Amino acid sequence: GQQLNQSPQSMFIQEGEDVSMNCTSSSIFNTWLWYKQDPGEGPVLLIALYKAGELTSNGRLTAQFGITRKDSFLNISASIPSDVGIYFCAGPSKNYGGSQGNLIFGKGTKLSVKP
């Protein structure tokens, strides 16, 4: 079945650093979504991508829809302490009914602050 592979699994950041993470799949996606989840909370939608090659920003966050439609990237510039959390990529699943399929998620990239 479809799977989304996120890397890295975890990373430590120092305030002010830029952060990059990615999400890959063996299947083609027509939408990529990036969410951030804080402990004990629901995922919050950060960026939605709908077209191959699309580059979209939301403040210090920038995400790209890969040309092959099998990957997506999220960059955070000049990180701050509140960027800590788990970042999930997600895409519509073909397992559950086709074009309006529900979302499958990667396992997340956990961002922590360097001690």
Partner 1 sequence: DAGVTQSPTHLIKTRGQQVTLRCSPKSGHDTVSWYQQALGQGPQFIFQYYEEEERQRGNFPDRFSGHQFPNYSSELNVNALLLGDSALYLCASSLGGRQTQYFGPGTRLLVL
26 binds partner 1 (CB under 8 A): no
The piece of 14-22, 65-73, 77-85, 91-99 that touches partner 1 (CB under 8 A) is 91-99
What is the Cα–Cα distance from 83 to 14, expressed in whole angstroms? 11
Among 34, 35, 65, 73, binds partner 1 (CB under 8 A): 35
Task: Name the one residue in this structure whose structure tokens are 């999930």.
Answer: 88
What is the Cα–Cα distance from 74 to 95, expressed in whole angstroms? 25
| 78 φ/ψ angles, rounded to the nearest 5 degrees | 45, 65
The piece of 11-19, 36-44, 55-63, 68-76 that touches partner 1 (CB under 8 A) is 36-44
Q: Evaluate whether 31 touches 91 at the Cβ level (below 8 Å).
A: yes
Among 24, 31, 75, 77, binds partner 1 (CB under 8 A): 31
Among 14, 16, 26, 40, binds partner 1 (CB under 8 A): 40
By beta-carbon proximity to partner 1, the closer residue of 8 and 18 is: 8
CA dist 98 → 2, 12, 60 (Å): 12, 38, 33
Q: Which amino acid is at 18?
A: D
Binding mask 51-90 for partner 1 (x = CB under 8 A): -------------------------------------x-x
